[in-house]
Amino acid sequence: MLYSLLRKFLFLLDAEKAHYFTMDVLKVICKLPFAKQIIRKIFCPPDSPVTLCGLQFKNPVGLAAGFDKNAKYLDELSLLGFGFIEIGTVTPLPQSGNLKPRLFRLPKDQALINRMGFNNDGVEKVADRVKIFKEKNRSKTIIGGNIGKNKITPNENAWKDYETCFLKIAPATDYVVVNVSSPNTPGLRDLQQKEELKKILAHLIFLNKEKKYFKPIFLKIAPDLNQNDLDDILNLAIEIKLDGLIINNTTISREHCKTKREKIDKIGAGGLSGKPLLDRSNDLIKYVSDKTNQKIPIIGSGGIITAGDAIKKINQGSVLIQIFTGFIYQGPSLISKINKKFREM
SS3 2: helix
* Beta bridge pairs of residue 95: 120
Packing angle between helix 158-169 and helix 123-136, nearest 10 degrees?
Answer: 20
Residue 182 is a catalytic residue: yes
CA 161 to chain centre: 19
How far apart CA 124 and CA 130 sit, in angstroms, is 10
How far apart CA 19 and CA 104 sit, in angstroms, is 12
What is the DSSP track for 279-324? HHHHHHHHHHHHHTTT-S-EEEES---SHHHHHHHHHHT-SEEEES
How far apart CA 315 and CA 60 sit, in angstroms, is 13
How far apart CA 14 and CA 101 sit, in angstroms, is 8
Catalytic residue among 182, 273, 318, 336: 182
Provide, for the chain, the percentages of residues in helix, strand and coil under a 3-state DSSP scheme, each rounded to the nearest 5: 45, 15, 35
Strands 55-57 and 103-106: unpaired
How far apart CA 109 and CA 197 sit, in angstroms, is 33
Residues assigned a catalytic role = 182
